[in-house]
Structure 1
Amino acid sequence: MSYVGLACPAESIGNVLARALQPRRPMSVSQWCDEHMRLSSKGSSKAGKWHTANNPPLREPMDCMSARSPVKSMVCQFPIQFGKSQLATNALAYWMDYAPAPIMYALPGEVSQNKWIAQKLNPMIEVVPAVRKALSSTASRDSANQRTFKDFAGGQLYVEHAGSPQRLKSTTARYVIADELDEFAQALSTGDDPVKMLDGRTSAFPSTYKRLYISTPTIAGLSRINLLYEKSDRRRYHVPCPHCGHYQALQWSGLVWSSDGKEAWYACCECGASIDEHHKTDMIAAGRWVPENPDSPIRGYTINCLYYQFGLGPRWAELAEMWRDAQNDPAALKTFINDRLAETWEDPAMRSVKHNVIADRAEPYALRCAPRGVLAITVGVDTQDNRLAVHIIGWGRGMAAWTLDYVELPGDPAEDSVWLSLTDLLNRPIERDDGVQLRPLAVAIDAGGHRTEAVKHYVRQRLVTRPMCIFGAVPNNAPILSKGKLADVTWRGRTDKRGITIYHVGGVAAKHYLYSRLSADAERQADARLLHFSDQLPAEFFPGLVSEVYNPVKNRFEKKVVRNEPLDTWVYAYAAAHHAEVRLHRYTKADWDLLEERLLARAISATDDSRETSAQTVATLPAADSRGTSRLTRRRSGWVDSE
C-alpha cells in the first residue's frame, strides 16, 4: 500500500493519542479570545478577529471569568458602546469551549432575550469555529439546538429572561450571566428578588461557580448594579499623565473644552497640564485597575466614556457637545449620565432628602407632647400581617407638620387585641405645651393586602374619630384623596349610607408633596421649617421616611431595600387631613385663627373648671393639726387618711 501524500497511520494515531493525553494548556479568557474569537458584522462595528489590545480595560474583567481565576462574583458598571455585552459573550464562548459546564444567560425580558439571541449569540456561533465545534448539533430541528437552549460537549446553555421566574427557578448552572441588570424588575412576578434568585442558581457549585452582573446604571437608590458595585472592591481604571506620570482615574469634571466647543482636553489633577486626546491611546495601554475597597470578595469595575478608544465611541469634543445640549433637558441629562458616564441619576430635589440629613435636623421635643404650633392632629395607619404601624402627625399654619409619635403595635390584624391597642392609643389625648388637649380629627387606615375585611370591620365600629378605610390609587395622577364611595348595601340591595366608605389615596402626588417640603427645609432655620421630627424617634424611622425613589420613566415611586412604613403612614395621615369634614389643606389664615381661638378658649375653660374643683376639694378637707400638716395624704388613687 502506498502512503504517498499521506502521513503514516501510526504517526497519525500517535498524534491523536498525544493530543488526548496532553494536559490542557492553561488559558485565560483574553488569551482564548485572542486565539479563537471572531466578531460578526451583525453585532459589531468592526468584524473580524478579536484583539484584546484594542480595548485594554476589558482584559482584567475578562480574565476574572477564567477557569483558574479565584474571582467568583464580578460586577461591571459600564457605559454604552464600551463592550460590556461583548465581555459577557467572550466569557460565554470561552466556557463553552475551554471550561464546559451548565451556563445560564439571563436578560430582563422576552424582547431583549430575542434581540440578544439574534444579534449576539447566533452570529457568534456562526463565526467562531471553536464554539460551533463544541455544540452537539447545529441542526435547527434538533432538540439539542433550540432557540433558548444549546447542548454542547460537557455542558448546556440556557437563555432565560426575568419575565419567566418559574424557568429561572428550575435552572441549575455553574456560570450565571445577568445582562442589563438594572432593566430587571425590582421584584419578579412571584415576589422574588431577581439578584437573590440568580445567586441561588449556582448553589450546586459552591466552589467553582462564577457570576457576572453587567449593566449601565439607572436611578440612584434603585440601581441594582450600583448597589452591587458599592459592595464590591470598586475598581477604577487609572492612567498615567503623559506630562508628570501621575496615575489618575479620568473623571468628567476634569474635561475642559473651548468656548466654540470644537476642541476638548483633559486637565491633569496633579500638575494641571493639558492632556490632548491623542495621548489617550498610550495612556489607556499603560493603565491599570485600582481598587478602593480591596477587602471585598466581590470584584467590581466601572469606567466612563472618556476611555473610548478612537473609532469605538464619540470623541471628547463630541461628548462635550452632548453634555451642553442636555443641560436644559432633564431626560437627556439623565440619559447622558447613565449611558455615557456610567453613573446613577439623582433628581436634584432628592439630594436634600437623605435620611441622615433629615435625622440631623431632628428637634428636641418629646413624643406625644405637641409644640405650641400644633393646631390639629390626623393619623395614618399601615396594616401588615403581624403589626400595625401608626403615625400621629400634628398640623399647623401653612400645613406645617410635626411627627408627634410613631409606634408599631404588634399583633395579627385578624384578631381583636391589636385593634384594642390602636383604639386605646388614639383615644388618649395629646397635650400641647400650654395644656391644650388635642385629639385626632381623622384616622386613615390602609385596607390593602391580606387584612382588608379586618380593617373594614374596625372602621364600621367607629371607635375613633372619623375612621377612614383607604386603598392606594392605581393611576399615577390620582388626587391625594378621592371622593368616598359607599361599599355596603342594605338588605334591599341599595347603598347603605351608614355603612363603610372607601377612599383612594394618590400616593405619587402625596410623596411628591412630602419630598418637595423635605428638600425645601434643607435651607431653612428650625423655626421656619415645614416638617418637624422629634429626636426621640427610632433610628430606623428616618431611612423609612425616604425609602422610595421617584422613577421618571415609570412616573411612580419605587421602594428601596428598607421598610417603608414611616413613609406610607405619613402619606395616609396627610390624606386624612383632606377628609371632607376636616379639609385642613383648604384652611385660610382666618380658619387657622378661629381654630386657635377655640383651642385657647377650651384650655381656659378647662383651667377654670380645674380651679373650681380644687377649691371645692380644699373646702371639704379637715383642718391641719398642730404640726401644720393635714391628716390626708395625696396618693396615686386619691386622698387617703395618713393615719
Structure 2
Amino acid sequence: MNISEQQLNNMMAAVSVALQPLVRVVPMTAVEWADQNYYLPKESSYGEGEWKTLPFQIAIMNCMGNDQVRTVNLIKSARVGYTKMLLGVVGYFIEHKSRNSLLFQPTDSAAEDFMKSHVEATIRNVPCLKDLSPWLGRKHRDNTLTLKRFSSGVGFWCLGGAAAKNYREKSVDVVCYDELSSFEPDVEKEGSPTLLGDKRIEGSVWPKSIRGSTPKIKGTCQIEKAANESAHFMRFYVPCPHCGEAQYLKFGDESTPFGLKWEKDSPESVFYLCEHHGCVIHQSELDQSNGRWICENTGMWTRDGLSFSAPGG
C-alpha cells in the first residue's frame, strides 16, 4: 500500500491531537513561574518591569502555590509586595495549574478597581496569560469587571466581600482575601468572610485559602485571629552579619538593648542593634538570602516554602 506524503502528514496530525490530553507540562513552583513569566505593569507598580522574587518573598509565594499547604495567613507591614505576590500566584494557578480562583476585596468598588488596574494590566503584559485571553481589550461575556474566563476554561472572579450574595454559588479551587482586616467581621449576619469564602473551595481536590493584611486593633483584628488559629506561626529570621546569630527584626524602643536606633536629632543615621551581642547593623549589611522562616510554636523551619525541616535539622 502506498501512502502519500499528505496522507502521512494527516495521520501524524491526527495522532498528535489524540495524544494531546496525555501531555503534561513540566511542574514549576510558584516562584519559578513568576520569575519566568510575571511582569509588573506601569499602571499599578512603582517600577515597571520583569518580576524578580526577593529572598523573603520566596517561601511566602511557594507556600501560596504549594498544594500541601491548605491555608496561608500573612500578617504583613505595608509595602512588602503582598498584592503583587498574590496576583503572581493567581496567574500561576490560572496558567500553570488550570485552577479556578476567587479573590475578595473589602468592597465592590475596591474589587472593580483591582480588576481594572491590576488584573487587566497583568493579563496584557504576561504573554502566557494574554494567549489565553482572546477577548482582551473588547467587550465579551468572558471579560467583565467581576469575571475573566480564559480559553482554557479556567475562571477568575474578583468580588467585594461586604455582600453575602458574593459568597454564594461559586465553586473554585483557590480563594484569596486581600486586606482581610478591612472586611466586616460578620457579613450581613451570616458569618465571617473566611467562613463564607472558604465554603467555595470545599469540593476542590486541592483547596487553597490565602489571606493577608496589615494588622489593625489587637484582639479584634481578623488576620491576627486567623493566624492565631494555625498550629504554625512563622517569622523570618536573618543572621547578624557580624556575630552570625539569627533573629527576626524588632522595632524596639529607647529602653530595649536591641532594635532600631539612631543618633539624637539624626533619624537618617538609623541602624539596627543586634539582640544577641549588640552588633551595629546597617541595612546594606543584612543578607536576606540566608534567612529562614522559623515556627515559634514548633521550631520547624523552611527557606523556600517547599521543604520543611524539624528543629535543629
1:599 alignment counterpart:
none
2:26 alignment counterpart:
25
1:258 alignment counterpart:
263
Q: Deviations over 1:155-207 (max 9, x none)?
A: 211111122211212222110001110110121124422221012111111x4
1:284 aligned onto 2:288: yes
1:612 alignment counterpart:
none
Question: 1:18: how far off?
Answer: 8.8
Question: 1:149: how far off?
Answer: 0.6
1:141 aligned onto 2:131: no
Contact 1:108 1:184 in 2 (8 A): yes
Q: Deviations over 1:593-624 (max 9, x none)?
A: xxxxxxxxxxxxxxxxxxxxxxxxxxxxxxxx
Q: Distance in 1 between matches of 2:165 and 2:99?
A: 22
Contact 1:40 1:47 in 2 (8 A): yes
CA RMSD of aligned residues (A): 2.5
Q: Distance in 2 between matches of 1:12 and 1:33?
A: 33
2:73 alignment counterpart:
75
Amino acid at match of 1:267: L
2:36 alignment counterpart:
35
1:493 alignment counterpart:
none
Structure 1 unaligned blocks of 5 or more: 1-7, 302-643
Question: 1:115: how far off?
Answer: 2.1
Q: Distance in 2 between matches of 1:220 and 1:198?
A: 23
2:203 alignment counterpart:
204
1:92 alignment counterpart:
90
Question: 1:147: how far off?
Answer: 1.5
Question: 1:242: how far off?
Answer: 0.7
Structure 2 unaligned blocks of 5 or more: 1-8, 253-258, 306-313
Larger relative contact order (Cα-Cα within 8 Å, sequence gap ≥ 6): 2
| TM-score, normalising length: structure 2 | 0.84
Contact 1:96 1:134 in 2 (8 A): no
1:167 aligned onto 2:166: yes
Contact 2:111 2:158 in 1 (8 A): yes
Contact 1:179 1:213 in 2 (8 A): yes
2:6 alignment counterpart:
none
Q: 1:71 to 1:138 in 2, by over 3 A?
A: same
1:179 alignment counterpart:
178
Q: Which moved more, 1:146-155 or 1:19-28?
A: 19-28
Q: 1:149 to 1:256 in 2, by over 3 A?
A: same
Runs of 4+ residues over 4 Å off in structure 1: 8-22
Amino acid at match of 2:261: V
Q: Deviations over 1:570-610 (max 9, x none)?
A: xxxxxxxxxxxxxxxxxxxxxxxxxxxxxxxxxxxxxxxxx
Q: 1:293 to 1:88 in 2, by over 3 A?
A: same
Q: Deviations over 1:257-305 (max 9, x none)?
A: 111223011111111111112203xx21211111112499xxxx9xxxx
Contact 2:104 2:158 in 1 (8 A): yes
Amino acid at match of 2:293: W
1:220 aligned onto 2:218: yes
Q: 1:12 to 1:32 in 2, by over 3 A?
A: farther
Identity %: 23
2:4 alignment counterpart:
none
Contact 1:149 1:159 in 2 (8 A): yes
Contact 1:136 1:144 in 2 (8 A): no
Aligned to 1:60, the other structure's residue is in SS state helix
Q: Distance in 2 between matches of 1:156 and 1:196?
A: 22
Q: Distance in 1 between matches of 2:49 and 2:17?
A: 30
Q: Distance in 2 between matches of 1:291 and 1:16?
A: 48
Q: Deviations over 1:194-227 (max 9, x none)?
A: 221012111111x411010011110011100011
Amino acid at match of 1:41: K
Amino acid at match of 2:284: H
Aligned to 1:229, the other structure's residue is in SS state helix
1:156 alignment counterpart:
155
Q: Which has the larger radius of gyration?
A: 1
Amino acid at match of 1:273: C
